[in-house]
Chains A and B, each alone.
Chain A
Amino acid sequence: MRLRIVLAVAKTTFREFWRSPEAVFWTYGFPILMAVVLGFAFRPRELPPVPVAVVAGEQAESTAAMLRRHGRFDVEVLGASEADRALARGRVALLLKSRDGEPVLRADPTRPEAEVARLLVERALRDERDGPGVPIASEVEDRPGARYIDFLIPGLVGLNLLGAGMWGVGFNLVQMRTQNLLRRLFVTPMARSEFLLGYLLGRFVLVVPEAAAIVLFGVLVWGVPLRGSVPAMVLLVVVGGFAFSGLGCLLATRPRTIEGIAGLMNAVQLPMWLLGGTFFSNERLEGVVRWAAELMPLTHLNRGLRDVMLEPGGVVDVAWVLAALGAFAFVAFAVAMRLFRWT
């Protein structure tokens, strides 16, 4: 292993990334943009008014007026067929009809907002008939550590590492293959191991700052807590980065075209975006989907990152995650090296 070669390859790899404004944006800007948008969209607050339709008929207007007074509803009075259509299109969550003078609620129970609407309307009707019941105070959970943004930021770190491994490592390798550059490098006295080490080094110089940028943004702008140990966090980022780089190399072993690697990467990334626990918790999945999620390195990385950020986790608490990701990285690199198409 000749250090001068490793460093020369690392320097080139680093410069090639740093000089691509678009790559820098998608690496640094995009996750932060996502943190802003999703943080705003899912910030803790009262539910918006529930859209409800009262089917035209006897007492329809007075019922509608009563619901409006209640303050939690967005009420329309519609003809029967118009009301059905509004329900089918999801423009209203629930229909309130009257049959033989008794109120009837119609809604699709599989839609969560319908269930909320039903409970609220039932309570409003009951209060109207029996007078207000026991007053119950309610609080909005908005303490740092329990909000959606607190859940999201560690997930974005994980997702960013996945992207770095896919696009930064895998995609670029295939691009170099299509440019005939891999072959050109291969006919020099440089060893493959020297190239690979330098290449990963060039990428890894940036992995920790990338993760740090997202975490820092979360901490400073949203007040996301960082309760665990920083060394554990750094270890997770580095080992997780290696795991995804290994995956990137593995995907890059055979494809000869940009389209080939892009398709392959999408096929691998999409399930992880959906089930890897970045945007939605995957702790309560069941059956096959549960198994699939448990097999994903992103699931474990995200879990480890949350242990360290949202709970006072240390290196020992995430040791198992580190070991699993490390083993994944080792196997991925080993297989990739055997199958890699240099020429």
Chain B
Amino acid sequence: MTANVASAEPAIELRGLRKVYTKGKKATVAVDGLELLVQRGEVFGLLGPNGAGKTTTVEVCEGLTVPDAGLVRVLGRQWGNGVDQEIRERIGVCLQETRFHEKETVRETLALFASFYARGRSVDQVMALVSLQEKADARQSSLSGGQRQRLSVATALLGDPEILFLDEPTTGLDPQSRRQLWEVVRAFRAGGGTVVLTTHYMDEAHQLCDRIAIVDHGRIIALGTPAELIRSLGAEHFVDIDVESFEEKLTGDELRALPGVQACEMKTARASLTVDSVHRVLPAVLQLLEERGIRMVGLATRHATLEDVFVHLTGRHLREDSKP
């Protein structure tokens, strides 16, 4: 393998990034001293709730927002140093909720964006990448949400970019459309591209990203592969036991004392356990319930998710509507 000097540089380097929005007398700190290195060839996810500063962070990388402080390097270049156009030739951007010209067809929209790049892929190649060939002559106004989003990604792929930025690419899409978009992202990565995406869907981050930065209040509060982040909880499984009633026949401390149990939260008819392995803990729990004469009415186990990591770190949920 020949070492490429340019690719030795990280795709993105952010140091001490800070951005404050002032509206009237009220100042909102969107990004608060954020540090980040995105390597070439990885799919990097910024995961966090709405308003965490994810979009501001990617918009700074895209050259859309000028930070108040900090260093930004994209492909080793800095915005505003006379190389803006060079950077723009080498990145592809998919913004949130872009509506293209309503009366233009897919092919016409792509032809417009293709004209902006000195080199790159053909309109037909890009339509094939996002499986929009059949809609080539359909107007923007007749496309579904998923098709529009794929068109948006297609416009970002026309310049054959080295980095692809996707800001909330699947928000509001149905499950099938989301999976289709994930395939596009995976194919792009397989071709050696770097992807930076923001999302507030933990499953998307888990499925798609090589590494994830969990962002909250404009800072990165955790960073790693999805597996690393979940392992950092110290427990990877949750067991929920529903009974008729514990009625002081069994205490939380007793459950907590069982080997393999890390935490236990107990209510009158439910015990929620955090455990390192289900197969080790469950027989002991079932035996204990039987000894005390407590009748079980329900049992559920699940893997820990990035959502649990976020809750563990912040005490809040990623999305307000996902509270149990």
Interface residues of A (CB under 8 A from B): 4-5, 7-9, 11-12, 15-16, 19-20, 179-181, 183-184, 186-191, 343
In the complex, chain A residues whose CB is within 8 Å of the CB of B21: none
Please measure, in the bound complex, the distance between the C-alpha atom of A22 and the C-alpha atom of B111, giving whole angstroms: 26
When C-beta atoms are compared, the residue in chain A nearest to B105 turns out to be: A15
Contact, CB under 8 Å: B112 / A12: yes
Q: CB within 8 A of A180: which of B97, B101, B118?
A: B97
The one of A7, A15, A190 that contacts B116, using a Cβ cutoff of 8 Å: A190
Bound: A165/B4 CA distance, A: 52
Min CB gap B265→A, angstroms: 44
Size of interface on B: residues with Cβ below 8 Å to A: 29
Could you pull out 14 A-B pairs where Cβ atoms are within 8 angstroms?
A5-B115, A12-B104, A12-B112, A15-B104, A179-B100, A180-B95, A180-B98, A183-B98, A184-B95, A184-B100, A187-B93, A189-B89, A190-B116, A343-B65
Kindly state the separation between the CA atoms of A283 and B85 in the bound complex, as whole angstroms. 52
> Is the CB–CB distance between A180 and B88 below 8 Å?
no
8 Å CB contacts to A: which residues of B70-92? 85, 88-89, 91
B-side contacts of A16, CB under 8 Å: 101-104
Over the window 20-64 of chain B, the binary record of Cβ atoms lying under 8 Å from chain A Cβ atoms (1 yes, 0 no) is 000000000000000000000000000000000000000000111
Q: In the complex, what residues of B have CB within 8 A of residue A184's CB?
A: 93, 95, 98, 100, 155
| Known contacts A19-B103, A184-B155, A343-B64; A179/B98 CB under 8 A | yes
B236 within 8 A of A: no
Q: Which residues of B contact A187 (CB under 8 A)?
A: 62-64, 88, 91, 93, 95
Q: Is B204 close to A, CB under 8 A? A: no
Given contacts A180-B98, A188-B88, A189-B88, 11 further A-B contacts (CB under 8 A): A8-B115, A16-B103, A19-B103, A179-B98, A179-B100, A183-B95, A184-B93, A184-B98, A187-B91, A187-B95, A189-B159
Residues of A within 8 A of B65 (CB): 343
On whether A181 and B100 interact (CB within 8 A), knowing A9-B112, A187-B88, A188-B113, the answer reads: yes
CB of A181 within 8 A of CB of B116, answer no
Check B64 against A186 for contact (C-beta < 8 Å).
yes
Cβ of B108 under 8 Å from chain A:
yes
Compute how far the CA of A16 lies from the CA of B104 in the bound complex, rounded to whole angstroms: 7
| Bound CA span A12–B109, Å | 8
- Whether A15 pairs with B103 at a CB distance below 8 angstroms is yes
Q: How far is the CB of A138 from the nearest CB of chain B, in Å?
A: 56
- Whether the Cβ atoms of A189 and B118 lie closer than 8 Å is yes
Out of A15, A183, A186, A188, name the residue touching B108 (CB < 8 Å): A15
Q: Is B96 an interface residue (CB 8 A)?
A: yes
Complex interface: chain A residues within 8 A of B115 (CB) = 4-5, 7-9
Cβ of A189 to closest chain B Cβ, rounded Å: 4
Closest residue of chain A to B62, judged by CB?
Answer: A187
In the assembly, what is the distance between CA of A342 and CA of B195, in Å? Answer: 25
* B164 smallest CB distance to A (angstroms): 12
Give Cα A311 to B101, complex, Å.
44
Q: How far is the CB of B186 from chain A (nearest CB, A)?
A: 23
Q: Is the CB of B103 within 8 A of A189?
A: no
Nearest B residue to A180 by beta-carbon distance? B98
Shortest B148–chain A CB gap in Å is: 12
Query: Residue among B65, B102, B115 with the most chain A CB within 10 A?
Result: B115
Complex interface: chain B residues within 8 A of A4 (CB): 115
Q: How far is the CB of B196 from chain A (nearest CB, A)?
A: 13
Residues of B within 8 A of A9 (CB): 112, 115
**B112 and A179 form a contact (CB under 8 A):** no
By beta carbon, the residue of chain A nearest B87 is: A189
Task: Return B263 CB to nearest CB of chain A, in Å.
Answer: 44
Given A4-B115, A186-B64, A189-B116, A12 and B108 contact (CB-CB distance below 8 Å): yes
Q: Is B99 an interface residue (CB 8 A)?
A: yes
The one of A8, A19, A189, A343 in contact with B112, judged by C-beta atoms closer than 8 angstroms, is: A8
Is B111 in contact with A8, judged by CB distance below 8 angstroms? yes
Please report the C-alpha to C-alpha distance between residue A254 and residue B62 in the assembled complex, in whole angstroms: 22
- The chain A residue sitting closest to B85, CB to CB, is A189
Cβ distance A184 to chain B, nearest Cβ, rounded Å = 5
Q: Binary interface profile of B, 268-286, with partner A (CB < 8 Å = 1, else 0)?
A: 0000000000000000000
- Return the CB mask of B168-201 against A: 1 if under 8 Å, else 0: 0000000000000000000000000000000000
Does A188 contact B98, Cβ atoms closer than 8 Å? no
Min C-beta distance of A13 to chain B, whole Å: 9
What chain B residues lie within 8 Å of A189 (beta carbons)? 85, 88-89, 116-118, 159
With the chains together, A178 CA to B96 CA distance in Å? 12
The 7 A-B residue pairs whose C-beta atoms are closest, nearest first, are A8-B115, A179-B99, A19-B103, A188-B116, A189-B88, A187-B93, A190-B116
